[in-house]
Amino acid sequence: MTVAAPREQARLFGHEQAEGTLLAAHRGGRLHHAWLLAGPEGVGKETLAFRAARWLLAGGEGATMAVAPNLPLFRRVAMGSHPDLLTVARAFDEKRGVRRDEIVIEDVRRVAEFLRRTAAEGGWRVVVVDGADRLNRNAANALLKLLEEPPARTLLLLTASAPGRLLPTIRSRCRTLRLPPLDRDAMTAALRHLRPDLSGNGIDELLPLSGGSPGRALALADDAAAQLRAGIETVLAGAGEAEQFKLAELALRRPDGIATFFDQAAAVLGDGIRRAARSGASLPQGRGLADGSELWSRLAAMRDDAERFTLDKRQTILSGLHLLGGS
């Protein structure tokens, strides 16, 4: 089932406090020119960014940031055709058929060109930098210059799952708004809205694995991701290299292969650790709870290194599978 992209979402779940902070700042005439929306992957940062953009472009009025989906403005934002909204993210690499690993300086130069123009509709101009923690050094420095001298009636919204990777000078010029993982009620409401085809039992199975992230829950519910998860379970139980290579190829077919692999690996391992803790049994291959915890930590560090240093995806996934398989 296809789920609407964040810029197409009319509802926001679990982040009423963050929305309220933005509303109060605007009402008080204290809307900072740049905000850093920080939180786990898939928690709703991009959804809030586009919700705030729509609301401000619509005039910035109302008790909430809701804009009716049937309005032309909502549709223009959803389609990416509003002249006073610019979105910057990792561009699609036509040659490789996947998104680039980082945001490059050419992407940020579009922001400078956008801000040199006057607002087409006479109001605010909004820039959304999605995945700002993926800015490379040159792109980060170029954005920093724009943050230092922002034009009037301009709002920059940066999203980041790992804000610590941003230049400290960029962080210091933004007001940080942290979006925590959603609680059980908000997660349940979000999944019922986003995936109405999921059963109550299906949602209950996803909740402990998703870490309060609707995006992660949706990835776990994906059929291809479920196939990858089943394969990881066989590797954890001792499947050989042939199965590991097969799973690496399966993961690499996805544009988000690294993230999906490590999400699924963490879900499988975490599920096994919880079962072992309740029953007193060992993990597969005779691993104890301490072994499982160490394996979890090593996989998390491996994922972090892969994203921070843009390591080879195939080799990273294979290394993770070797760890899971006890190699």
Q: Is 155 exposed, middle or buried (0-12, 13-18, 19+ CB in 10 A)?
A: buried
Task: Give the pLDDT confidence score for residue 209 in this predicted structure.
Answer: 78
> pLDDT > 70: what percent of the chain?
97
Q: Which of 50-54, 118-122, 234-238 has the highest mean pLDDT?
A: 50-54
Task: Give the pLDDT confidence score for residue 100 in this predicted structure.
Answer: 76
pLDDT in tens, 104-139: 999 999 999 999 999 999 999 999 999 999 999 999
Give 6-178's CATH code, choosing from 3.40.50.300, 3.40.1030.10, 3.90.226.10, 2.30.110.20.
Answer: 3.40.50.300
pLDDT in tens, 2-21: 788 999 999 999 999 999 99
Q: How confident is the model at residue 58 (pLDDT cuts 50, 70, 90)?
A: very high
Mean pLDDT of 77-85: 97
Task: Give the pLDDT confidence score for residue 106 in this predicted structure.
Answer: 94
pLDDT in tens, 181-230: 999 999 999 999 999 999 998 899 889 878 899 998 998 888 777 788 88
Task: Give the pLDDT confidence score for residue 296 in this predicted structure.
Answer: 86
Confidence check: pLDDT of 97 > 60 = no
Task: Give the pLDDT confidence score for residue 145 in this predicted structure.
Answer: 94
Confidence check: pLDDT of 270 > 60 = yes
Q: How many CB atoms lie within 10 A of CB 87?
A: 19
Task: Give the pLDDT confidence score for residue 252 in this predicted structure.
Answer: 87
Which of 218, 220, 258 is closest to 6 using CA atoms? 218
Q: Is 261 exposed, middle or buried (0-12, 13-18, 19+ CB in 10 A)?
A: buried
Task: Give the pLDDT confidence score for residue 238 in this predicted structure.
Answer: 86
Query: What are the residue ranges spanned by the domains of the chain?
Result: 6-178, 222-324
120 token code pair: 């087409």
Task: Give the pLDDT confidence score for residue 94 in this predicted structure.
Answer: 65
Confidence check: pLDDT of 294 > 60 = yes
